[in-house]
Amino acid sequence: MNATTSYQAIITSPIGPLGIVIEEGVLYRINFLSDETTLQAAEGKPAAQVAAQLQHYFKQADWHFSLPLQPMGTTFQQQVWQQLRQIPLGEVRTYGEIARALNSGPRAVGNACRNNPLPVVVPCHRVVAANGPGGFAGQTQGRNLSIKGWLLAHERATL
């Protein structure tokens, strides 16, 4: 998303500001924003519900999200994201394990994870490389990998 993205809320979190996009009352996207981003109070009940549930998760990792979701993606991406939602809290799966479950390849799974529009809620951070953490949101180092590390530590997951 670009600088003209219209957010229905921008909240603070331990991993930095998060921009929440709601379309037709359904969670459509969560964006990681720069630390300089100005916070924005939730506009409307759906955005307030998403903001509250994210805050509950950041306080208590075993919080179960119950939100209406509408992640937009290809059929394959949808299948990967469904697999991600089945990974239990505190556990990880490798790109290869998910690929085998879908008769696909690890790179295709990685690309679907990279394009996950609902990070945290659809836990792409629980997918790791066979030999380490792998990448997160298209990066293998820097801020995004730090976010992945924080989320896994918060959930007490071990690699």
- Is there a catalytic annotation at residue 113? no
For residue 108, the one-letter residue type is A
For residue 27, the one-letter residue type is L
Q: Residue 85's closest CA among 57, 132, 127, 140?
A: 127
Q: How many other C-beta atoms lie within 10 A of the C-beta of residue 23?
A: 12
Using DSSP, state whether 9 is helix, strand or coil: strand
Using DSSP, state whether 22 is helix, strand or coil: strand
Query: What does residue 19 show for φ and ψ, rounded to 5 degrees?
Result: -95, 130
Of 124, 137, 147, 151, which is the active-site residue? Answer: 124
What is the set of active-site residues? 124
